[in-house]
């Protein structure tokens, strides 16, 4: 899987992960629309399925790469320099580990998608 696709999946996964229990699959609404009384929320099962698949893939990563992904997308560490400091290794090592995590994650996601397609066929 292309690194840019993995990064986009991780961005959506991070939003989903941070909203767990609050907005799973539901698009947000402004408060004055909610006052109208009608149920205009639509549930996107594909969004949840993709995020669950990404979550499974992240949990299957080795701990080192899982830490890099968590620091990059979940933890509130604003700059790369601070993430490198928290990681405790050099900037180059951090970037190499992040790139390797993207590769492994892309392979895991592809494998999980293939398994899911074989199960539904």
- Dist. CA 51–CA 54, nearest whole Å: 5
The domain locations on the chain are 3-120
Q: What percent of the chain has pLDDT over 90?
A: 60
| Rounded CA separation 28/81 (Å) | 33
Burial group, residue 69, by CB count within 10 angstroms (0-12, 13-18, 19+): buried
Phi then psi for 26, rounded to 5 degrees?
Answer: -95, 135
The model's pLDDT over 60-88, given as tens digits with 9 standing for 90+, comes to 999 999 999 999 999 889 899 999 999 99
pLDDT of amino acid 37: 54
Confidence (pTM): 0.78
**Higher local confidence (pLDDT), 6 or 18:** 6
Model confidence at 24, pLDDT cuts 50, 70, 90, reads very low
Q: Tell me: pLDDT of 1 over 60.
A: yes
């Amino acid at each position: 899987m292309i690194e840019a696709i993995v990064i986009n999946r991780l961005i959506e996964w991070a939003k989903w992960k941070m909203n767990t229990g609050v907005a799973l699959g539901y698009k947000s609404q402004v408060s004055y629309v909610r006052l109208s009384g009608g149920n205009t929320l639509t549930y996107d099962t594909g969004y949840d399925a993709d995020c669950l698949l990404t979550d499974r893939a992240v949990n299957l990563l080795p701990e080192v790469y899982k830490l890099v992904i968590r620091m990059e997308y979940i933890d509130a560490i604003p700059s790369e320099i601070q993430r490198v400091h928290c990681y405790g290794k050099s900037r180059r090592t951090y970037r190499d580990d992040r790139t390797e995590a993207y590769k492994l994650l892309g392979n895991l996601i592809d494998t999980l998608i293939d398994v899911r397609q074989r199960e539904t066929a």
